[in-house]
């Protein structure tokens, strides 16, 4: 079973960007610096390349008969990748969306 990760909107909040992450019908939110948010399309592609690279062991793999056959993940997988694999520092976190945030950019998978 695989999930689809879609970055559907970017919202600006007090010096940070709030990224809306859609996983099928669910929505989750990530807070990150504006520099990270501006590159979200490129970062999404890098993340998916990493996620589906069978040579890389990560906790998001699903196994059948001891073999990797798919991935299962949520928005926290993207946060993990940003913080530990891409930037090697804490630059993103999961957040609860605040009322009044405005959509600045739409990105679809």
- Average pLDDT over the chain, rounded to an integer: 81
- Residue count (the chain): 109
- Helix (H), strand (E) counts: the chain: 3, 7
| CB-CB neighbours of 60 under 10 Å | 19
pLDDT higher than threshold 60 for residue 105: no
Alpha-carbon gap, residue 68 to 61, rounded angstroms: 6
Cβ contact 68:55 at 8 Å: no
* Residue 94 confidence (pLDDT): 79
* Higher pLDDT among residues 29 and 65, named by residue: 65
Tens-place pLDDT, residues 73-93: 998 999 999 999 999 999 888
pTM of the model: 0.80
| CB-CB neighbours of 26 under 10 Å | 10
Residue 109: pLDDT band with limits 50, 70, 90: very low
């Amino acid at each position: 079973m695989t999930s689809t990760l879609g970055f559907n909107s970017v919202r600006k909040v007090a010096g940070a960007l709030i990224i809306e992450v859609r996983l099928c019908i669910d929505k989750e939110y990530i807070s990150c610096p504006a520099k990270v948010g501006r590159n979200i399309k490129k970062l999404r592609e890098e993340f998916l390349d990493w996620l589906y690279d069978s040579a890389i062991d990560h906790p998001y793999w699903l196994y059948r008969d001891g073999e990797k056959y798919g991935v299962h993940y949520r928005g926290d997988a993207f946060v993990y990748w940003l913080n530990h694999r891409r930037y090697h520092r804490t630059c993103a976190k999961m957040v609860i969306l605040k009322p009044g945030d405005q959509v600045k950019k739409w990105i679809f998978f």
